[in-house]
Structure 1
């Protein structure tokens, strides 16, 4: 049977044999130096798998023989949430301090969103980052951005110049929708508030876009199509065929009291050519959804700031 401790043995900076009965060994001295380096030293966080608990009694015994407190070595995410770390890494993202900014390098754009949030919290930033599927022109762009006060009095702020994060690509000449184009987010290290960011990533085949409302924007599926005044379904079907797009339909149902809009998916054979198209959403690659009403409304419901479902 394979020894389950072997992977953990390779992670250890100081092994039991170097500590037992050797309080002055080189390994023990190096460990002690790393602990007493003080708060200015960079802390590297390591989250070990569950079997690590099986190794703790042996490692603790060896460390105590050298007069060293082992809890000063392994720093878990709970402790790092206070902002004591200046760097943090997991399988999804690397974050490190660079002057007056934290630089977050995204390693896996398809990772669970909690991995990114975990890393920002570890260095003391209240940031929730989500990488979501987007159309090609939405990749590498912030699709949504919310910020506010996290705690304490006064507005969220940064004294190092601005509170908004910036986005860069590696290499600089790459296109964000390329597989080998890396994304880096920079955030002021002294930012005092909270941020909720949504960043576009390349959509996998068949995956629906988060930036659905961009359909008529430059470079998108219905680039240049004007729907502010409403257009007949027949005209928009011809436009979709010209662009080699598959069309889906939803019927708009405005609420007269609240102004909220709801949408009822409809089969194409239930939609007449003289109905009115008020908006278009891009669903996924090659698929567009036309939002229609049987009658022509006095004004475009989307132009009145109507509440839309998320």
Structure 2
């Protein structure tokens, strides 16, 4: 990857804090001012006003025209005279957020940007716009030309990769089959390598309490998870487990493991988010390009007030730069 290229940063849902934290980050982080915001000019003008100004917009039509001179470089994916209302779900916001994501994916797939950093979107707004995607990950997988993808949530203490993502717990149990286990373990290994860990130690969490307690509390560990671990080890991956989900993250935080493979959404995300939303970042593994995002939502309750913390977005940008330097064949 050409790391001299700028990053594409999507504005997120126009009714949430995404545009505000994007503007704050570019205002205060002069080192990222060549980044190109993908979104709507009127929405970003409102965001800049909400933080007290300090930036002017540089609307561009080609990535090569991005300038690091105190401007917010914006490439329009949509145009509106009056931005959607703040703090409210709307079809207009869902469509505008989606259009920005698709435009950023096109830039990444054609090699015009070093990677994508996405500000938060709202799932109900996507649905209101008639877009049947549970979240960013599914849009990225479909439009990005990927097969299996996985979410890695990371902070300074722990990293976790999910076997299943946005679905009910009942569906997660059904979907956590052998192919899903193998994909998650492999992507966890590849993600760890991309972060500079020569031989990542992958801990695989069990699905059931106490990792099934030898079959007393469920046999998924015996039938599915343990065979997947054995197969991964045969491929040269340093995988172990299944470990009880209630203690494996503590062991990872204490340095025993580099990445934890969690079986379902909340099992993996609660430990990361408990340590602080401002420190967490979401990395999509399995794509042919880099993508990261903050580890929080749209925060409609504070949108437009100028008080949103851009810390997680800044962390996501830093991770994107780091991942852009990694050989891409590690993530295929």
Same fold, TM-score > 0.5, yes or no: no
Structure 2 length as normaliser, TM-score?
0.28
Structure 1 length as normaliser, TM-score?
0.29
Larger RCO (alpha carbons 8 Å, 6+ apart):
2
Structure with the bigger percentage of strand: 1
**In terms of Rg, which structure is larger?**
1
Structure with the bigger percentage of helix: 2
